[in-house]
Amino acid sequence: MTQRPLIGVTTSLKTGWRVFPFIALGVALAGGRAIRWAAGTRAEVAGVDGVIVGGGDDISPELYGAELITTAVLDPERDALETCIIEEAMKHGKPVLGICRGAQMLNIALGGNLHQNAYEHYGERKFSTILPKKDVQICADTRLADLAGVQPMRVNALHSQAVDRLGDGLQVAARDPSGMVQAIERVSEPFALGVQWHPEYLTYARRQRALFRALVAASRARSEDRAQLAEVSAVARH
């Protein structure tokens, strides 16, 4: 039997124990295994096939050379951990799925920045719910569109920040009606996708499970020294 790809998952040290089981379920449904990483613990990127950078507190603007303009709760130790993990994953060609904060960290690690108060910037009413009450439009001709189609998608939202300037090698894969970025993706190997919502709470939906399937497929391809994006495209066709 083929080994199930091992996925390292970053979480909050304080609250990650509540979130990790949902992410682990998404990974398991896709044919993988998940282990939890948190600030203060040892994270061995070399020992996993792929990475999920999970949600949590806001990210310090110091990471992209800005000053804090909100009263957000920050987690600098986790910021440092996840920056290293993403850089290491990219260096060694390991696939990454960023969830909410994780999508923002992916963007920052690749040289981008954030809107610290995204809802104020876009003049949009703030959502804060794990229920799918927010509409997003997936951009055509993206890997996310291959995986989930271009039909409008209802998602949840638990964030205050959002992607502003894109990091190197990234493109926008989805926006909400106000124009706020809701998903980003790498245009080349290794596979990397970041979504502003929390698919781990929506695994009853086929389109959300497809995100975990794509990561696990890319992770399996990486472990077998095969092209990741071709494997993700194959997942999209089934």
Catalytic residues: 100, 198, 200
Structure tokens at 120: 């104020």
Structure tokens at 226: 């095969």
Residue 79 · residue 34 · CB < 8 Å: no
Let me know if 2 is exposed, middle or buried by CB neighbors in 10 A (0-12, 13-18, 19+). exposed
Element (H, E) at 185: strand 181-186
CB atoms within 10 A of CB 171: 15
Cα separation of 182 and 163, whole Å?
8
Residue 75 Cα distances to 1, 63, 161, 223, angstroms: 41, 12, 14, 32
Cα separation of 153 and 11, whole Å?
25
Cα separation of 143 and 140, whole Å?
9
Instruction: Please tell me what DSSP assigns to residue 68.
Output: -
Cα separation of 174 and 129, whole Å?
19
Question: Judging by DSSP bridges, how do beta strands 114-115 and 170-175 pair with one another?
Answer: unpaired
Let me know if 122 is exposed, middle or buried by CB neighbors in 10 A (0-12, 13-18, 19+). middle
